[in-house]
Homo-oligomer: A and B are copies of this chain.
Amino acid sequence: MRNTSILFCILLVLISCKINNSNEILVTNNESLQKALKNTVAGDIIVLKNGVWTDVEIKFTGEGTKENPISLKAETAGKVFIEGVSSLEMSGNYLNVSGLFFRNGHSPKKNVIAFRTSEKQVANHSKVTNCVILDFNNLERDQDNLWVQLYGKHNEFSNCYLAGKTNGGPTLRVDLKGNQSIRNYHKIINNHFGPRPRKGGARGETIQLGSSFTSMSPSNTLIANNLFEECNGEVEIISSKTNFNIIKNNVFYKSEGSVVTRHGNYVSIDGNYFIGDGKNENYGGIRIINTGHWVTNNLFYKIKGKNFRSPIAIMNGIPKSPLNRYNQVTDVVVAYNTFVDSDSPFQFGVGQNLAQKDVLPKSEIRSARALRTEVVNNVIYNSKGDENPIIEHDKADGVTFNSNIIDNNGVDFKEKDWLISKDLTLTDICSDISVPVSGFSDVAPYNGFDFENITEDLLGNSRGKSNQIGALATSQNIKLNVLDKSKYGADWYSNVFEAKEPKTISVGINDNLQAKIDEAENGDIIDLGFGLFEINKPLVIKKSITITSSGDGKAHIIYNGEKETPLFSLQPYGKLKIEKVILKGNNTNYLFATLKKNMSNHFGLKVNYCEISNFNYVLRVYKQAFSEEIIFKGSSITNCENGLELSEETNDRGDYNTEYLTIDGCIFTNVKQNVIDYYRGGYDESTIGGNLLVTNSTFTNSGASEKNKRLFNHNGIHNVNINNNIFKNNKVKFVSILWGAKNNIESNNTLINSGILKTEENLKQTLMY
């Protein structure tokens, strides 16, 4: 026995050696890092010393093994800061990266992290985990890139936090070009996709799986257990463009978009949470295009998105669609989902545009309705009844409905054959989330083809024995914590910050206003008292601040700065709220303007109760600058050459300069041109924006120099609402020409000697694709 024991010990040691064939290499600067990267061997662990690493291009290659991967990690996770012009590329096998924090910089390449080092050299069986990428944006919005791009096979991107991408391009893309990257079985799991601001136009997806050019390829990517929080980049949060992907158990929380099966087929969207607030109509659900998708076990909670953004949007296809457009929906299953207080959850024929057949080419007309599609075993609960739980933009005649129930709280609806009425009660299953979990056991689930493969419910409970319709197969003791952010992302990073009490900084008339602004922190208030300030050069705004008067009167700023310079230079991160200030220019300079270049992050502007006069431009937004909101409220604008100019996005790729432009209770007098000039070029039916609201305002003697004789120009803007305004003595032909087919409306306006307000159903647009 003794000999055997010794042998066993030797064996154990040998095995340990094999397993622990590790070699830790601490690197302290770029030079030692590059050296360490040169000749990696299986088991190597390259450790980056804590601190700031500036301008590092990491090319991490090597042949690790399952037992002995090669690692690149932070000395302490979260304490290694990759800044400046930096990137990470990797190729080989079994490579692990962890603990890095990308911030204060941008990538010199087409991606920040790439799972390849050249077209043919890709990474396989490799992992990036426990990292953060924050605001690592290119300098210009139009400089598209990706933060993470997966190639190769069997890679993992996990437990990372990514937030703040403002430039074009999806945050993360799986690329399938080349046989080396198909059937990839990548895992994108346990991440926290934090806020991605509205981008203003297309190319703002959070995740994109392939592209239309690889939409025929098998991908088999898994996206599971991620939190998507305020992913507002564009209408698609996840754009699945390949086949056989699995999107499972993710939480979509207050995210202005949908999960879209844009191209590709046979995607499983199972057990996800779509959580809205019951108000915001931009929070969407699942939009279906193409063949063979299974949408099962999902919970939709207070989702108010409409049409393209409705909880379940089944699109019409284009007959014999071009590769990059819309294939018909066929063989889709929508089963065992639960909808609580979500408006019109089932919408069919979404995108039907037969009315536009005269202005669009035939290859753009979506007339092919869904075929062989099953909508079954779903539960709808509406605390406040919904008159249209089902909307047919086109006939749902290719859809089988069965065993769907609704508690509509007494409100009548049309589709009695498709929805069975029931009285249900709600059960709390999570903080702030209550759903019906019982009361429908008498409705036998419809058993479609292959339904035996729906083995579990939303929570992973077996559907085997006591199956029931809806997302939850059981009503027993459900206590969820899906919104516990500590479950997602890097373990060392949290995006929850303690609310800071704003500080008020008083500025006397002899103070240097710029110095005071610089002294302020995000959220602070600059109090001008009611003094008079003469300013000679632009005030730089690079943070969120409020500038206000205090007391009874209004402060007064006279700007004597040079021609074509702004009083307020709105720079990246510069979000200015200015209230109750009298602002006066010298007729050649500007009030507000962005930078002409390098607006690498969004700006913002709210102007409340100000008196503005004698500027060349009130607001001038240059190309590639973007604000989520611009609001003028209760303010007067008098004797200015130009008003609000947001019309430089002329490359017709669907971009625009602000998501929301609001004029409320303002008085425009003698503003000669560009009174409101807000442009979006390039027709794209699926992205939706911007938004112009002009209400309770008065426009007098304005627009006289406008060449096209329109007071307002808002070409291509999707949502326009002009109501309760007075237009008097404006020398124009049109106050506005509204786009009827989009959401352009006007009401209750008074026009006196000011041309007309005209609506055209279809405007000719440049196609984007």
Contacts and interface: CB of A to CB of B under 8 A. Distances in A.
Given A216-B290, A217-B291, A322-B321, A331 B363 contact: no
Contacts of A320: 212, 322-325
Interface string A433-456: 000000000000000011000000
Contacts of A372: 177-179
Contacts of A449: 120, 178-180
Contacts of A321: 322-323
State which size class the interface on A falls in.
20 to 34
Contacts of A330: 177, 213
A744 interface: no
Given A290-B216, A320-B322, A331 B266 contact: no
Most B CB atoms within 10 A — which of A179, A264, A321? A179
B292 A363 contact: no
A284 to B, nearest CB: 24
Interface string A189-232: 00000000000000000000000111011100000000000000
A369 B63 CA distance: 35
A327 B214 CA distance: 11
A321 to B, nearest CB: 5
A182 interface: yes
Nearest to A769: B320
A265 interface: yes
A425 to B, nearest CB: 35
Interface in A284-331: 290-292, 320-325, 327-328, 330-331
Contact of A179 (B178, B264, B331): B331
Interface in A248-265: 264-265
Contacts of A243: 216
Contact of A216 (B177, B178, B327, B363): B327
Contacts of A292: 179, 182, 216-217
A595 to B, nearest CB: 37
Most B CB atoms within 10 A — which of A182, A213, A331? A331
Nearest to A323: B320
Given A363-B363, A372-B177, A291 B322 contact: no
Contacts of A180: 449-450
Given A177-B372, A363-B363, A449-B180, A265 B217 contact: yes
A323 B331 contact: no
A265 B216 contact: yes
B327 A266 contact: no
Interface in A466-508: none
Contacts of A214: 291
Interface string A321-363: 1111101101101000000000000000000000000000001
Most B CB atoms within 10 A — which of A182, A265, A323, A450? A323
A216 B292 CA distance: 9
A179 B322 contact: no
Given A178-B331, A292-B182, A372-B178, A363 B322 contact: yes
A448 to B, nearest CB: 8
A240 B615 CA distance: 69
A327 B331 CA distance: 23
Nearest to A372: B178
A322 B331 CA distance: 20
Contacts of A363: 322, 363
A372 B264 CA distance: 20
A139 B531 CA distance: 99
A142 B325 CA distance: 34
Nearest to A243: B216
Interface string A507-537: 0000000000000000000000000000000
Contacts of A218: 266
A369 to B, nearest CB: 14
Contacts of A333: 179
Contacts of A178: 331, 372, 449
Contacts of A264: 216
A321 B323 CA distance: 5
Contacts of A265: 216-217
A322 B321 CA distance: 5
B290 A179 contact: no
A334 to B, nearest CB: 13
A212 to B, nearest CB: 8
A330 B216 CA distance: 11
Nearest to A122: B449
Contacts of A213: 328, 330
Nearest to A322: B320
A451 to B, nearest CB: 10
Nearest to A183: B266
A79 to B, nearest CB: 39
Nearest to A321: B323
A178 B179 CA distance: 28
Given A178-B372, A179-B450, A322-B322, A291 B331 contact: no
Most B CB atoms within 10 A — which of A265, A266, A320? A320
Nearest to A212: B320
Most B CB atoms within 10 A — which of A265, A291, A325? A291
Contacts of A325: 320
A684 to B, nearest CB: 15
Contact of A327 (B179, B182, B323, B327): B323
Contacts of A450: 179-180
A323 B213 CA distance: 13
Contacts of A120: 449
Contacts of A212: 320
A264 B325 CA distance: 17
Nearest to A290: B216
Nearest to A371: B177
A331 B328 CA distance: 26
Nearest to A244: B218
A449 B180 CA distance: 7
Contacts of A266: 218
A178 B400 CA distance: 13
20 contacts: A177-B331, A178-B331, A178-B449, A179-B331, A179-B372, A179-B449, A212-B320, A213-B328, A216-B265, A216-B327, A217-B292, A217-B331, A218-B266, A320-B323, A320-B325, A321-B323, A322-B363, A323-B323, A323-B327, A363-B363
Given A214-B291, A321-B323, A322-B363, 12 more contacts: A120-B449, A179-B372, A180-B449, A182-B331, A212-B320, A213-B330, A216-B264, A216-B290, A217-B331, A320-B325, A321-B322, A323-B327
Interface of A: 120, 177-180, 182, 212-214, 216-218, 243, 264-266, 290-292, 320-325, 327-328, 330-331, 333, 363, 372, 449-450
Q: Which 9 A-B pairs have the closest CB atoms?
A: A216-B265, A320-B323, A320-B322, A320-B324, A180-B449, A179-B331, A216-B291, A179-B449, A322-B322
